[in-house]
A = this chain, B = another copy of it.
Amino acid sequence: MKDQYQIAVLPGDGIGREVMAACEHVLQAVEKRVGIRLGLQWLPAGAQHYVDTGDALPQSTLKACEAADAILFGAMGLPHVRGADGTEIIPQLDLRMHFDLYAGVRPIRTFAGLPTPLSHPRAQAIDLVLVRENTEGLFYARGRGDVRGDEEVFDTMRITRKGTSRICEFAFGLAERRARRLGRQGHVTNVDKANVFASMAFFRKVFEEVAARHAGVGSDSAYVDAMALNLVLKPWNYDVLVTENMFGDILSDLIAALVGGMGMAPSGDIGDRVGLFQPAHGTAPDIAGQGKANPTAMILSAAMMLDWLAGRSGDARLGDAAALIERSVEQVFASGGVRPMEFGGAHGTREITEAVTGALAEAM
């Protein structure tokens, strides 16, 4: 329990800056309500900063992140802005490696009042979390590609016992907390391709060892292809999923689509020392600066951050703050008065933000 929690804020590029400003308003409103103090420090980083300075992620920004209690991240990257080696400017991945943010936590849920792309009535009650291993798997290959002339390229996937064990432990811990909150048994589904790859068979083996240590939580394994199908046909059957980095990248976008897209999908990249929270969407340069961006994913990411900080600090006010934001967002959409543009509505960043801060101010 601290007097003030230090939040390193990396708004980044494109709509990252707009949704971060919206999020800041919401955090100010919640500070007043629950009596916490958050010190938000805006820091430079991203593709535009690379254009301006030649550095996408300055040392000073990294230092400030190291000193902070948590990191809030907007979105980074701009089309046509590429590094010296021709690859995109994606400091996200550098931050994951630098801070060993091994758990990519990607929750999705439906909100009453917002349409889902699925016609099944149970699609109104989707509520699941995908836990993506964030530091190895196929992403181990990043920067290590073995390019042989203009003829062939090899990339290597790496699965370690340590990396798999800790991500599975994380998933079971999360399932236990969710089970307590939702008052039912938790369940973790491991998603792999153990029928074809030795690395994936190893992932499954370690998963099963970890599962045996969490007998109170149900568990099973599925192949990633079958899961891509099942997540469309019956996503309401799942609770917590855990999977390799690349599979997690694909499936987390898939499940975001089930609730209407990236505008509603928050995420956390969590390590043992610090956590970084960001909307799942990108910088959307096509709509940047027009006030059209849906800030909900960013706002929900801030709620995830507060919830995570509550768990670490034992400061119950932070948990209240997280719940208050979540409830206010629920209420705004449930009322039917506010609908983001990607859902065919007419409401942009400002209307949604004001509705959420309004609901926050009035909430019991």
Please list the residues of chain A having a beta carbon within 8 angstroms of any beta carbon in chain B. Answer: 86-88, 90, 93, 115-120, 138-139, 141-142, 145-147, 150-162, 193, 195-202, 224-226, 228-233, 246-247, 249-254, 256-258, 261-262
Complex CA gap A181/B36 in Å reads 65
Kindly report how many copies of this chain are found in the complex they form together: 2
- Given the known inter-chain contacts A115-B119, A152-B158, A153-B159, please indicate yes or no for A145 contacting B197, CB distance below 8 A: yes
Known: A151-B162, A153-B201, A225-B250. 18 other contacts (CB 8 A): A87-B201, A117-B120, A141-B197, A145-B201, A147-B198, A150-B161, A152-B159, A155-B157, A155-B199, A157-B157, A193-B249, A225-B249, A225-B253, A228-B251, A231-B257, A233-B257, A233-B261, A250-B250
User: Across the interface, which residues of B come within 8 angstroms of A156, CB to CB?
Assistant: 154-157
Q: Which of B115, B116, B161 contacts A151 (CB 8 A)?
A: B161
Nearest-Cβ distance from residue A345 to partner chain B, whole angstroms = 16
User: Across the interface, which residues of B come within 8 angstroms of A200, CB to CB?
Assistant: 155
User: Across the interface, which residues of B come within 8 angstroms of A226, CB to CB?
Assistant: 253
Complex CA gap A225/B118 in Å reads 19
Complex CA gap A319/B298 in Å reads 53
Complex CA gap A142/B346 in Å reads 50
User: Is A262 touching B158 in the complex (CB atoms < 8 A)?
Assistant: no
User: Across the interface, which residues of B come within 8 angstroms of A253, CB to CB?
Assistant: 225-226, 228-229
Nearest-Cβ distance from residue A50 to partner chain B, whole angstroms = 15
Nearest-Cβ distance from residue A208 to partner chain B, whole angstroms = 13
User: Is A153 touching B199 in the complex (CB atoms < 8 A)?
Assistant: yes
Complex CA gap A46/B163 in Å reads 36
Complex CA gap A224/B196 in Å reads 20
User: Is A193 touching B246 in the complex (CB atoms < 8 A)?
Assistant: yes
Nearest-Cβ distance from residue A11 to partner chain B, whole angstroms = 21
Complex CA gap A193/B248 in Å reads 13
- Given the known inter-chain contacts A155-B156, A160-B151, A250-B250, please indicate yes or no for A196 contacting B93, CB distance below 8 A: yes
Which residue of chain B has the shortest Cβ distance to A90 in the bound complex?
Answer: B195
Nearest-Cβ distance from residue A189 to partner chain B, whole angstroms = 16
Q: Which of B142, B197, B251 contacts A138 (CB 8 A)?
A: B197
Complex CA gap A119/B147 in Å reads 45
User: Across the interface, which residues of B come within 8 angstroms of A116, CB to CB?
Assistant: 119
Which residue of chain B has the shortest Cβ distance to A150 in the bound complex?
Answer: B161
Complex CA gap A157/B156 in Å reads 6
User: Is B202 touching A229 in the complex (CB atoms < 8 A)?
Assistant: no
User: Is A232 touching B138 in the complex (CB atoms < 8 A)?
Assistant: no
Which residue of chain B has the shortest Cβ distance to A82 in the bound complex?
Answer: B195
- Given the known inter-chain contacts A118-B117, A119-B118, please indicate yes or no for A198 contacting B155, CB distance below 8 A: yes
User: Across the interface, which residues of B come within 8 angstroms of A160, CB to CB?
Assistant: 151-152
Nearest-Cβ distance from residue A307 to partner chain B, whole angstroms = 25
Complex CA gap A249/B196 in Å reads 12
User: Is B225 touching A147 in the complex (CB atoms < 8 A)?
Assistant: no
Nearest-Cβ distance from residue A66 to partner chain B, whole angstroms = 25
